[in-house]
Amino acid sequence: MIHPFDLQARAELAAHALTALLDPERDGLMYFLANWRARPPRAEHCLWDCGDGSGRHIDALTLVRSVLRPDSPEAVPDAGEKQLEAWMMRFLGDHGLTWLLNEPFTQPWGTDMLLKEAAGQTSAAETYAEISWAQRGTLLGLTSRYLATGDERFKAAGEHMVNGLLSLAQKVAGVGLYFPEGYYRTSGWHFHQPGLYPGIEEYNAAVIVPAIRFYRATGFTPALDLADGLLTYALKHTQGYLPDGSLFPGEGPNKGQGTLDHFHTRSNFLLGVLEVGIVTGRRELVSWARQSYEHAKAWGTDFGWFPEGMGHRHGETCCITDMIEAAILLGRHVSRSYYADAERFGRNHLIETQWLSLDQLNRATAQLPEDTGAAPFGGIYSRTDRVAASQIGAFASRATLNDAFHLDAPAMMQCCNAAGARAIHDLWRYATDGLAIHLRFSVETPALRVVSHEPARGQLDITVRQDGPVTVRLPSGVNDALVAGNGNVQPVTARKGYIEIAASAGALLSVYYALPERTQYYEVGAPGKAASCTGHWRGETLISVDPVGELYPLYQRSLDLPPVVPALPSVPALPTLP
Residue 138 and residue 52: Cα distance in Å, rounded?
Answer: 7
Least confident of 26-35, 147-156, 569-578: 569-578
- 213 vs 248, higher pLDDT: 213
Class of domain 9-246+351-432: mainly alpha
Q: How much is the average pLDDT of 155-178?
A: 97
Confidence grade of residue 240 (pLDDT, cut at 50, 70, 90): confident
Q: Which pLDDT tens digit goes with each residue over 47-104?
A: 999 999 999 999 999 999 999 999 999 999 999 999 999 999 999 999 999 999 999 9
Contact call for residues 454 and 442 (beta carbons, < 8 A): no
DSSP label at 495? B
Residue 517 and residue 76: Cα distance in Å, rounded?
Answer: 42
- Give the number of C-alpha atoms closer than 13 A to the C-alpha of residue 423, restricted to the C-beta side: 33
Contact call for residues 311 and 332 (beta carbons, < 8 A): no
Is the pLDDT confidence value at 238 over 90?
A: no
Residue 399 CA: distances (Å) to CA of 314, 360, 371, 391: 5, 15, 19, 15
Confidence grade of residue 254 (pLDDT, cut at 50, 70, 90): very low
Angle at 317 between CA 313 and CA 321, to 5 degrees: 125
- Phi–psi pair at 139, nearest 5 degrees: -70, -30
Burial class (CB in 10 A: 0-12, 13-18, 19+), 495: exposed
Least confident of 89-93, 197-201, 206-210, 343-347: 197-201
Is the pLDDT confidence value at 1 over 50?
A: yes
- Phi–psi pair at 444, nearest 5 degrees: -140, 135
Name every residue whose Cβ is closer than 8 Å to that of residue 265 and which is 6 or more positions away in sequence.
199, 202, 203, 206, 259
Residue 411 and residue 418: Cα distance in Å, rounded?
Answer: 16
Across the chain, mean pLDDT equals 95
pTM of this prediction exceeds 0.95 = yes
Q: Which pLDDT tens digit goes with each residue over 412-467?
A: 999 999 999 999 999 999 999 999 999 999 999 999 999 999 999 999 999 999 99
Contact call for residues 430 and 439 (beta carbons, < 8 A): yes
Angle at 275 between CA 11 and CA 155, to 5 degrees: 70
Name every residue whose Cβ is closer than 8 Å to that of residue 423 and which is 6 or more positions away in sequence.
317, 320, 321, 324, 325, 346, 350
- Phi–psi pair at 60, nearest 5 degrees: -65, -40
Total residues belonging to the chain: 578
Residue 406 CA: distances (Å) to CA of 297, 351, 416, 551, 553: 21, 18, 16, 8, 11
Task: Return the exposure string of 18-41: e unless at least 16 CB atoms fall within 10 Å of the residue's CB, then b.
Answer: bbbbbbeebebbbbbbbbbbbeeb
CA quadruple 37, 101, 206, 224: dihedral sign: positive
Q: How much is the average pLDDT of 533-561?
A: 97
Q: Which pLDDT tens digit goes with each residue over 344-385?
A: 999 999 999 999 999 999 999 999 999 999 999 999 999 999
Parallel/antiparallel/unpaired status of strands 436-437 and 459-464 = unpaired
Q: Is 230 helix (H, G, I), strand (E, B) or coil?
A: helix
Contact call for residues 417 and 39 (beta carbons, < 8 A): no
Provide CATH 1.50.10 ranges for the chain. Answer: 9-246+351-432
pLDDT of residue 198: 86
Q: How much is the average pLDDT of 518-542?
A: 96
Q: Is 163 helix (H, G, I), strand (E, B) or coil?
A: helix
Residue 94 and residue 82: Cα distance in Å, rounded?
Answer: 23
